[in-house]
A and B are shown apart, each in its own frame.
Chain A
Amino acid sequence: MTGAPDQPLLDRPHGAAPRPRLLGLARRGRAASTDEQGDRGVLSTADRRRGSVRASMTFVHGFLFVGLVVAGLGPLLWLAKAAVTPTQDTLSQPFALWPNGVDWANLESAWNDIHIDQYFLNTIWVAAGSWFFQLLIATTAGYALSVLRPKYAPILNALVLATLFIPAVVLLVPLYLTILNPPVIGTSLLNTYWAVWLPAAANAFNILLVKRFFDGLPREVFEAAKTDGAGPFRVFWSIVLPMSKPILGVVSVFAVIAAWKDFLWPLLVLPDPAVQPLSVRLPAVQSQTELDVFLAALAISTLIPVVLFLLFQRLFLRGAGLGGAVKG
């Protein structure tokens, strides 16, 4: 865990630069204000004027464009096409555009007959709860460890960080048995969403991110608020949280995406089909579903994450880069 940025991450106001930088991260001591236009990469201005370089850059452009459209967008477009194509056409001519007409009924049968609607709601419920509990734990713990700093804070901090180095597979079986037989409450959490939400909330990475962000907030503001008589809860709610929207956004994206993607854990702790999310149900219904309806179900399940990504692209890409900044 080296290479911690010196200043709070993600601190640029939206739309500050005329051309938004890909990643608003100030890294390795370089000023975040460096104008990207002034930056240069491997190629110098002189290089770019050379004919051979120009020709290769045209090739690079073409290669990137074609390659990324085919690899990134291609499967999605094919899925969208296949979702409204009869099974026979998909099987015999996978690249023909509706040789025998469009079959809109696939979407309807996917939604109603294999109950994508129900599993969709389950997925949203799983994601919403995971989001809430991850944010709750990350912000309260980050506030305690960064701002309040009780005497035992360093110990807690070390214990939280230590869990980052434990591969998730070690937890699999004991965590499952904990869900079957949790302490104190005495009743199994199997088939309840608590079994997904609470383990997701024990996320050390979130706490690390939030704590680092809080570390960079100006202390004078907290002191001033205290002088005005604000207690720790007031400072947390009215000052720290409103100042931390960027990092809360990143943690939220991480939480929702992780919940949407998770497969093995919900498969284990939600054996009842009535409460299972899409990721668990889709493989289960595959064998009893006709291919065209199944592909329609896949398309519907992909829609929300892709739309979310297109809407919050900057947040996603920043989050991905941030993961790298912390790892690096």
Chain B
Amino acid sequence: MTMTRDPEVADAAADRPPRPPSDVPAHRKRRRTPMTWLRGGGLSNLAFVAPMLVVFAVFSWGPIVQAVVMSFQKTNLVSPPVFVGIDNFVRVLSDPNLGTAVVNTLYFALLALLFGFPLPLLLAVMMSEVRRGKGLYSALAYLPVVIPPVVAVLLWKVFYNASPDGVFNTILGWVGIPPQPWLQSSATVMPSLVLEATWAAAGGAIIIYLAALIAVPPELYDAAEVDGAGIWRKIWHVTLPQLRGVLFIMLILQVIATSQVFLEPFLFTGGGPNNATLTILLLIYRYAFQNSLGGAYGEATALSLMLAIFLALLSWAYFKLTERWSTN
């Protein structure tokens, strides 16, 4: 694209202040006055920045700052907020439910890691090797992600019907396994939640792994074959090392996501039976919005801040630890 440049227009376009008279000292040449700001497009710049500035200030930056402030205040909607120091943190940490919530959340995250992490990888590797039907397979795998999560949970709640004629219990009956209580026993409730969550999320991970698998340089496989590597050794020594960057990120993202699990326990069980699915987010929700004594907003923000700080430290430590492995 060649163009003949009109010097004047080019000057204005380059956002330069007009040439100053020669008697102005050199250090003042670049001084910006409202006039130069205006000519440089300051007003139109502002017009484009303003919507984002307002929305972020009110609905993102403001509330983030407010969260920190509120965690040190007693806030109810009636009287003005009072500074209470670390009272909120003390009260949250001495809440007997906190231990239960932390253990349950860790349990959920661990189960989700054991079942939910390897499965999409395995499926993606298989899908990338088949020559026909890849499009169909990825569409099928992604379908559960498209179903609205609320609908998925409510549907699975029907599947988990504990009577012998429930959907899953019927299937178990075909292979001779006795009916399970699913959501109704504290022993089986958490694995049931994880099963649904894994089903709902696997498709997204599969698509991401497929994209990463396409990017593995084929020369590496050629070279491995020259060295006499079989299929499994190629997977172990080429595929997995090439994916490790994506795998590391997906792992920490999954941990961050599962430690904030809310929808499944809230809709499946409401935290029951016997608080067996009370998670940290459910506790935060209870503090703020399900409190017979009025919203304990201070406690809720204190707990969410502690969770956020913990996750930040965890991610930081994780990246420090994997830094050496994930780059060559």
Interface residues of chain A, those whose CB is within 8 Å of chain B, are: 3, 20-23, 25, 27-28, 30, 36, 39-44, 46-47, 53, 57, 60-61, 63-65, 67-69, 71-73, 75-76, 78-79, 82, 90-95, 133, 136-137, 140-141, 143-144, 148, 150, 156, 159-160, 163, 165-178, 180, 182-183, 198-199, 201-202, 204, 207, 218, 220-221, 223-224, 226-227, 229, 231-233, 236, 257, 260-261, 263-264, 268, 278-280, 282-283, 286, 291, 294-295, 298, 301-302, 305-306, 308-310, 313, 316-317, 320-321, 323-325, 327-328
Contact = CB atoms under 8 A, between A and B. Distances in A.
Interface residues of B, number: 118
Contacts of B6: 227
18 contacts: A22-B211, A23-B207, A39-B214, A42-B234, A72-B140, A72-B141, A72-B142, A75-B152, A140-B52, A141-B48, A150-B42, A177-B77, A178-B63, A283-B267, A306-B143, A308-B146, A313-B139, A316-B142
Interface string B121-154: 0010111111001110111111111111111101
Given A141-B48, A302-B148, A64 B213 contact: no
B92 interface: no
A169 to B, nearest CB: 5
Contacts of B222: 44
A129 B255 CA distance: 32
Given A163-B64, A166-B64, A144 B52 contact: yes
Contact of B150 (A20, A42, A283): A283
Contacts of B211: 22-23, 25, 27, 321, 324-325
A172 B129 contact: no
Interface of A is mostly: helix
B64 A30 contact: no
Contacts of B215: 27-28, 30
Interface of B: 1, 3, 5-6, 9-10, 13, 41-42, 44-49, 51-53, 55-56, 58-64, 66-67, 70, 75, 77, 123, 125-130, 133-135, 137-152, 154-156, 158-159, 161, 163, 165-167, 170, 199, 203-204, 207-218, 221-222, 225, 231, 234-235, 238-239, 245-246, 249-250, 253, 256, 260, 262-263, 266-267, 281, 284-285, 288-289, 295, 297, 300-301, 304-305, 307-308, 311-312
